[in-house]
Amino acid sequence: MTSGRLADLLPPIAFGLAVLALWEAGVRLFHVPAIILPPPSAIAMRLATSVPTLAADFNQTIRGVLAGYAIGSLAGFVIAVLIDRSEFLQRGLMPIGNLVSALPIVGIAPIMVMWFGFDWQSKAAVVVVMTFFPMLVNAVAGLSSAGAMERDLMKTYGADYWQTLLALRLPVAMPFIFNALKINTTLAMIGAIVAEFFGTPIVGMGFRISTEVGRLQIDMVWATIVVAAVTGSLFYALVAGVERRVTFWHPSYRAKEA
């Protein structure tokens, strides 16, 4: 790790530790009851002693997250490519996609549970509904972002539709597509966890949060929140890392190196 990277990491770490210290001090000083807000020390202890439970919950929820993320993003991408040739289809499908993405999770989730059962499949279905439209919109925008000069160049090379798509338009669309992929990591986490409030076998991060709140074990709720936050951040960082490799040519990365 270069000293530059270390210098970048120091402020957030220091700030984070300061927030934790203030939290701990505040809870103790003002005698805040643990069922309202537990101190970070209690949460850490609960994290340490509940690893099997939290691991099982993670295992259950992540299946819904990843399956839904993959299917939703892929479907959005495939549909975008398919309607790329038809202006008519684009104008027709976009408003419908918009409508589908605006459906509230708390409405879709119980319906998906009725259709797909209590297990992770219904959570994946909810995530698919949430991640489809962002990918569709961004992929369509990305596919139309190739410059006129570059497209003319492909024409002079005698490239057909598919060659132009693979050599020019898809690479140019990558920044947009990765934009959608990054947004979808967050949506997938939210969708899977909230969907679990509405019907689940008795394991899963959403289940854990809703039942431990009912049992007034708020430190366990916070422990699950920590796991969810770390998972979400790692997921996002992973996608951002892949984006770096794939879109290395983009000015935003080149500017940083300079």
Partner 1 sequence: MKSILFAIAGVAAMLAAGVAHAADKVTLQLKWVTDAQFAGYYVAKDKGFYKAENLDVTIKPGGPDIAPEQVLVGGGADVAVDWMPAALAAREKGALLVNIAQPFKRSGLELTCRRDTGIRTPQDLKGHTLGVWFAGNEYPFLNWMAKLGFKTDGSPGGVKVIKQNFNVDPLIQKQADCISTMTYNEYWQVIDAGYKPSQLVVFNYTDEGVSTLEDGLYVMQDKLKDPAFVDKMARFVRASMKGWDYARAHPAEAVKIVLDNDSTGAQTLHHQTQMMAEINKLTAGSDGRLDLAAYRQTVKALLSTGGSNPVISKEPVGAYTTVVTDKAFGKK
Q: Which residues bind partner 1 (CB under 8 A)?
A: 33-36, 110, 114, 117-118, 197-202, 207, 210-211, 213-217
* Min separation Cβ 117 and partner 1, Å: 6
* Min separation Cβ 211 and partner 1, Å: 5
The residue among 115 and 249 lying less far from partner 1, judged by its C-beta, is 115
The residue among 10 and 202 lying less far from partner 1, judged by its C-beta, is 202
* Min separation Cβ 201 and partner 1, Å: 5
The residue among 158 and 214 lying less far from partner 1, judged by its C-beta, is 214
The residue among 41 and 90 lying less far from partner 1, judged by its C-beta, is 41
Amino acid at 79: I
CA angle 237, 240, 242 (to 5 degrees): 110
Other CB atoms within 10 Å distance of the CB of residue 172: 20
116 in Cβ contact with 174 (< 8 Å): no
> Cα separations (Å) of 125 from 110, 120, 122?
11, 9, 5
230 in Cβ contact with 58 (< 8 Å): no
* Min separation Cβ 200 and partner 1, Å: 5
* Min separation Cβ 215 and partner 1, Å: 6
Alpha carbons 221 and 46: distance in angstroms, whole number: 10
201 in Cβ contact with 189 (< 8 Å): no
The residue among 55 and 216 lying less far from partner 1, judged by its C-beta, is 216
